[in-house]
Amino acid sequence: MKFSAFSVYLKRLEAVSSRIEITKILSELFKAATRNEIGNIVNLSLGQLAPSFNSIVFNIAEKMMIQALAKAYSVSPEEILKLYKQKGDLGEVAHELSKNKDSNLTVNDVFDKFVSLAKDEGEGSVERKIEAISDLLQKMDPLSARFTARIPVGKLRLGFSDKTVIDALSWMETGSKANSAEIEKAYFVVADIAYIATLVKEHGVQGIAKKITPVINTPVLPMLAQRVKSPAEMVEKMEEVAVEPKFDGLRAQIHFSKSGVKVFTRNLNDISWMFPELGDTQKFSNATDFIIDTEAVGVDEERKQAANFQTTMTRRRKHDIDKYSTSIPIQFNVFDIMYKNGRSLMDLPYLQRREELKDLFKKNNLFLVDRFVVTKDPQVIMVEMETKLGEGLEGVMVKKLDSKYIAGRTGYRWVKLKEGEKQAAKLADTIDAVVMGFTAGKGKRAGFGLGQFLVGVVDGEQIKTTTKIGTGISDDQFKDLKVRLTKIQVKQKPGEYEVDKNLQPDFWVEPKLIVEIAADEITKSPNHTAGLALRFPRLIKFRDDKDKQSATTLTELHKLFELQKK
């Protein structure tokens, strides 16, 4: 497919906001693509070169694109900047300045050039990137130039995600979402949507089930816990259960093979660099390869117990990681396994997966396979809960004995039971909310530049408001929050936000910061677009290990609303 033809589809996509229309256009695009290019088309449509865990990013700043446009069209950078201020879009600037009537470049040509740009590092790389983009733009027709200028600086923003791509792949085959669940199931096992699209194109939806198995170094979407208020209800829903400790740590999915070790967060980011001690994994493992689910917890050696989440997360500082790995020893509490010795274990029941964990490691201090208790007695769950709280842990996880490893928060297979924020919150659990914007501070808070911040929950592709928070926050938290929000501040409201006109903040931010919120209760709200509001919300902590894909959904908020009635 020529890139110029691909650009026509992109133009159609940016002209519509209806989810079903976007799905239909994408399905047409995918149908027109070949097996060898559909993966690249999917990635470029999403404004990326690869999933986030592959760490292949453009690193093209707007200033560099301005220089490239100036070079490509033989005008001064000052003239480009002037046009940019007028139009507010470098893509529109490129569209206006391009004089080519046609372009012979294919989608794969452009994709390969973009990948080459992304991998170009070191001395002189900035100049080489400007030269390469300039050369590419010179070969583009106006419409192709528009999107070539937008994609590398992260400005494509067509308003859809992997979920819509899954629906479009189903629509490509059936003219409906009939096969979306089957495609999504495959995506949960191998979280690379371009790879999944290639498989669907080649084998059809019915053929991918036989082709899908976990792939070392490609994350499996994690299994998540439901919320149930009482141990009695847990036993009623799940019958015989296993009770495990719940740690206040960093969810870490570890992939081990002869090629090395990779670690992924629950939102699929590669954080392998945080754990240099994993270089010793081969010495401890009795398997040739594996994928395990763990909670990485810092160890407080003075008190001989687990450190809190914020202490563990100081390891996210890339500089001096060797120093932090020494001062904050880590332990991986292993609670599940999805793959071992070349074989998927995801369809095995919980107890069989636990058997596979028994002899996975030689005795060591880095990996600890969690102890669990099997019971049908709600009182045993409560005793375990109180014991774990007494040990400084968050509570317990309760798991159905015959449950497979199924990604997402589906059915009552795993549930969590933990103490509220010092029992102040009456909800069954805290909420992981997306920060959407903030208001300027008044009085003392004028010095922070921040008074309140608006948060929401995820509803499909949209993010809907549920509360504003401005109380119960320390001065240090205000300062930290302002620094974080300034880095992601944008001029216009992101397209996925649904906000009542009376609740609009002074400043908008990209949906990149997740905060854990406690509240006394959930009430119905005519003003908040979620239809529900949090009463007396309080900031617990920043969830740097999560993104909007793993934030609380509107469906989950409704479940919490129902739980508080019991």
Backbone torsions φ then ψ of 155, nearest 5 degrees? -115, 15
Task: Report the C-alpha gap between 153 and 47 in whole angstroms.
Answer: 9
Residue 315, token pair as written in the block = 């390891």
Write down the mean pLDDT value for the chain.
89
Highest mean pLDDT among 57-61, 167-171, 296-300: 167-171
Q: What span, in angstroms and rounded, lies between the C-alpha atoms of 485 and 504?
A: 16
The pLDDT of residue 542 is 87
Question: Which residue has 């088309």 as its token pair?
Answer: 41
At 431 the three-state DSSP class reads strand
pLDDT number for residue 318: 54
**Equal CATH topology for 226-419 and 431-563:** no
**Nearest partner of 140 among 51, 212, 190, 68, judged by Cα:** 68
Using pLDDT thresholds of 50, 70 and 90, give the confidence band for residue 421: very low
Query: How far apart are the C-alpha atoms of 23 and 30, rounded to whole Å?
Result: 10
Q: How far apart are CA 524 and CA 192, in angstroms?
A: 38
Residue with tokens 């332990």: 331
CA distance 214 to 419: 35
Residues 6+ apart with CB under 8 A from 467: 433, 454, 455, 517, 519, 528, 533, 534, 537
Question: Average pLDDT, stretch 524-552?
Answer: 89
Nearest to 561 by CA among 229, 280, 285: 229
CA distances from 547 to 22, 179, 513 (A): 24, 27, 7
User: Of 18-32, 390-404, 552-566, where does mean pLDDT reach its minimum?
Assistant: 552-566
Q: Distance (Å, rounded) from C-alpha 227 to C-alpha 550?
A: 15
Q: Which residue has the higher pLDDT, 324 or 182?
A: 182
Q: What is the mean predicted confidence (pLDDT) over 220-228?
A: 88
Cα–Cα dist 293/369, whole Å: 10
- Residue 423 in this model has a pLDDT that exceeds 50: no
Measured CA distances, 457 to 218, 274, 299 (Å): 27, 29, 33
- Residue with more model confidence, 156 or 194: 194
Q: Determine the pLDDT at residue 425.
A: 43
Residue 435 has pLDDT above 50, yes or no: yes
Domain range 431-563, its CATH number among 3.20.10.10, 3.40.50.2020, 2.40.50.140, 1.10.10.10 = 2.40.50.140
Concatenate the DSSP letters of all residues of 353-421 into one string.
HHHHHHTSB-S-SSEEEPP-EEES-HHHHHHHHHHHHHTT--EEEEEETT----SBS-SSSEEEEE--G
Express each pLDDT in 345-403 by its tens digit. 999 999 999 999 999 999 999 999 999 999 999 999 999 999 998 888 889 999 999 99
pLDDT score, position 518: 87
CATH superfamily of 226-419: DNA ligase/mRNA capping enzyme (3.30.470.30)
Residue 439: pLDDT above 50? yes
Is pLDDT at 422 greater than 50 in this prediction? no
Confidence check: pLDDT of 216 > 90: yes
Instruction: Give the pLDDT confidence score for residue 266 in this predicted structure.
Output: 87
Q: What is the pLDDT of residue 424?
A: 40
Catalytic choice (129, 246, 388, 399): 246
Least confident of 2-6, 26-30, 68-72, 244-248: 244-248
Q: What integer pLDDT is reported at residue 55 of this predicted model?
A: 80
CB 450 within 8 A of CB 469: no
Active site residue 155: no
**In terms of Cα–Cα distance, which of 164, 165, 210, 167 is closest to 186?**
210
Q: How far apart are CA 434 and CA 431, in angstroms?
A: 10
Residue 340's DSSP bridge partners are: 290, 343
Residues 391-410 pLDDT 10s? 888 899 999 999 999 987 77
Q: Which residue has the higher pLDDT, 106 or 314?
A: 106
pLDDT for 310: 58
pLDDT at 443: 58
In terms of pLDDT, which residue wins out, 473 or 182? 182
Pair 456, 432: CB distance under 8 Å = no
What does the pLDDT look like over 66-75, one tens digit per residue? 999 999 999 9
Domain boundaries, the chain: 226-419, 431-563
Q: Which of 291, 298, 333 is nearest to 312 (CA)?
A: 298
Give per-residue pLDDT as tens, 246-262.
998 889 999 999 999 99
pLDDT in tens, 12-24: 999 998 889 999 9
pLDDT digits (tens, 9 = 90+) for 116-136: 999 998 899 999 999 999 999
Helix/strand/coil (H, E, C) string of 434-456?
EEEEECCCCHHHHHCCCCCEEEE
SS3 state at 240: coil
